[in-house]
Amino acid sequence: MDNTPNWDLPPERFLTQEEIGRLLLRANEIMALGKARKRKPLVRDAIIIFTALYSGLRRAEICDLMVRDITIGGGRSHLVVRRGKGNKARTVHIGKAFKSIVRDYLIWKAENGELHPESFLIRNSKSERYTPTALWKRWRKYAPNGHRLHDARHTTAAQLLRAGQSLRMIAQQLGHSRLSTTAIYAQVAPDLMHEGMNRMEALAKDAVKAAARSPVAATV
């Protein structure tokens, strides 16, 4: 039986490399502007963008993320999703860039009286946490070409694939219960297939060169 999910991911569901770059630059700009002018909403908008693009979390997972769910330091850098899809918990590892961003953001939260045992990573101006709908509205303010917040999750998966990560690793990061779900991303990145075939051919050429250098001559 084919367990591949019956859904399609057209190219427009992914941010291009240019769109990723411009959005991250915008996040850097509004983060700096928010801190300099003491405009808290801008700082929070920036961390929404960074979290969406660097973690691949679902919208509700970002809303539920609490400060106590984040571990950075001591050679460790990860966050814990306590209630993912299907109410499943998982550990999501984060890279150096996002680790540095989160560390600086937590310092900012402490300086602004937002850091306490029950604090969520991202709060809004009226309550301790965002609702998924409110979070989406903030994302929409900056998203290029009408990209959905969930498109950032798709983009993270595709970027991990391009970085050479295995489907199993990506599935763990995204919280997929089946590899067949994660495999969908391979279908929307034909450039990776071409690259893989080119690498295969390069290995074959290396084998030919090695055989040619061998002192043992082939006999016919």
Nearest CA to 182 among 161, 198, 209, 213? 161
For the record, the structure tokens of 14 come out as 């992914």
How far, in Å, CA of 45 to CA of 66, rounded? 17
Point out the least confidently predicted range of 14-18, 40-44, 102-106, 188-192: 188-192
Residue 128's CATH number: 1.10.443.10
pTM of full prediction above 0.85: no
Mean pLDDT of 112-128: 93
pLDDT band at 62 (very low <50, low <70, confident <90, very high): very high
pLDDT band at 106 (very low <50, low <70, confident <90, very high): very high
Query: What is the span of the domain harbouring residue 120?
Result: 11-186
Q: Please indicate, yes or no, if residue 97 is contained in any of the structural domains.
A: yes
pLDDT band at 199 (very low <50, low <70, confident <90, very high): confident
Q: Which amino acid, 36?
A: A
Q: Please indicate, yes or no, if residue 158 is contained in any of the structural domains.
A: yes
In percent, how much of the chain has pLDDT > 70? 87
Q: Please indicate, yes or no, if residue 31 is contained in any of the structural domains.
A: yes
Q: Please indicate, yes or no, if residue 214 is contained in any of the structural domains.
A: no
Those residues whose C-beta lies under 8 Å from the C-beta of residue 208, and which sit 6 or more positions away, are none
pLDDT band at 2 (very low <50, low <70, confident <90, very high): very low
Q: Please indicate, yes or no, if residue 125 is contained in any of the structural domains.
A: yes
> Residue 18, Cα to own-chain centre: how many angstroms?
16
Backbone dihedral angles phi then psi of residue 93, each to the nearest 5 degrees: -80, 150
pLDDT band at 8 (very low <50, low <70, confident <90, very high): low
Question: Structural domain tally of the chain?
Answer: 1
